[in-house]
Amino acid sequence: MKKIVLAALCFLFFAAPAAFGADTLKIGFNIPLTGDIPDVGESSKNAAELLKKQINAAGGVEIGGKKYTLDFIYEDNESKAESALSAARKLITQDKILGMIGPMSSKQAVPAGETSNELKTPMIAPWSTNPNTTKNRPYVFRACFLDTFQGPVAAMFAKQEFNAKKAAVLYDIASDYPKGLAEDFKTAFEKINGQGSVVAFETFTTKDVDFSAQLTNIVKSGADVLFVPQYYNEVPLIVKQAKSLGWNKPILGSDSWGSGDLMGLCGDDCKGFYFVTHYAAAGAKGATKDFIDKYQAAYNKTPDDVAALTWDAINLMLTGIKNAGVTGDVAKDREAVKDALQKVKDFDGITGKMSFPSGGDPVKCAVVVKIDEQGKFSFYKSVCP
């Protein structure tokens, strides 16, 4: 009798994980839960948990007549490139994920994308706008527009909205995202207004907190607008110092303004400014409003662009998985998902429609948001390719 019981227990112990694994879709998240931008990681995880609970509560993801439960594995990349690399390698080689969501910022997404591509695992970066994230990497995709689109959108908006003939730029030269976007803005603005119309192109390095020298040059330059493509935790300090040095003209931002607690840190100083981003929560309708309502009910705050893009990235990954099918052979399934993602057309995301006509970069629209007098990010205009 003891032998029978022992045999049964051994069967349960060794067989159960395999059985559960066969009915589970394992997806990894390479996100910054600590480090410089922890709010970004929190927003991403919040959206992921909300979607996972919703899908699993409904019985899971149906593929080929079979239901699969979602299993999400979160790895903290600490907002560091080297940690993003090790997180990607762990998720792919040890956890045996089918696909990876993240990293978020380009500083981590560019190197992690190289690893993901080398290990032939589909990766979707929700928030990384740097072209190098997906360049020559068939396994790497994104859910957002590129800086090569965002830069010209910001430059044209500065011209049309402020009649800006001269512009200044302040950016972190040591970080892929702001560096690339600053250069794209400069190229586009000078194409519109002529060579030399970017009259101040000032730089700093990560962790700097004193921008007085650069901002003094910007104030003296005669620029009509200041473009600051920096993260939510850096913008308030830059804006406050600029105003203290006499800058009283428009400051224009990028999609990195829309994440985290920008207004909690910046307050009245940022009201009235504009930034280019992926979606606007205020005035949203349809599926976007439904997502916002669910997120607010769960977390008692309005979801930022990172949360919305994470939601889209996961659903995009699931679309690829559904279209590819699941065999249980991880290597073959990863390749099939990659092939399926490359064929996605008119994916109806809450941040807009997406198609992938050439590789991992979606064709989609951008939104210009105005920070209104209530401190809310209100829709101002949409700009499409």
Count CA atoms closer than 13 A to 117's CA, side-chain side: 19
The whole-number pLDDT of residue 15 equals 38
Write the class of the CATH domain 147-277. Answer: alpha beta
Q: How confident is the model over 130-143, as pLDDT tens digits?
A: 999 999 999 999 99
**For the chain, percent of residues with pLDDT exceeding 90:** 89
Confidence band of 260 (pLDDT split at 50, 70, 90): low
With H, G, I as helix, E, B as strand and everything else as coil, classify residue 132.
Answer: helix
Q: Is the pLDDT score of 7 beyond 80?
A: no
**pLDDT tens for each residue of 73-99:** 999 999 999 999 999 999 999 999 999
Length of the chain: 385
Cβ–Cβ < 8 Å for 291, 191? no
Q: pLDDT by residue (tens digit) across 199-232?
A: 999 999 999 999 999 999 999 999 999 999 999 8
Fold of 2-144+285-361: Rossmann fold (3.40.50)
Give the pLDDT band of residue 72 (cuts 50, 70, 90): very high
- Contact between 153 and 211 under an 8 Å Cβ cutoff? The reply is no
Cα–Cα distance for residue pair 36/206, rounded to 1 Å: 10
Please list the residue range(s) of the chain that carry CATH number 3.40.50.2300.
2-144+285-361, 147-277
User: Which of helix, strand or coil describes residue 292?
Assistant: helix
Question: pLDDT tens digit string along 21-35?
Answer: 459 999 999 999 999
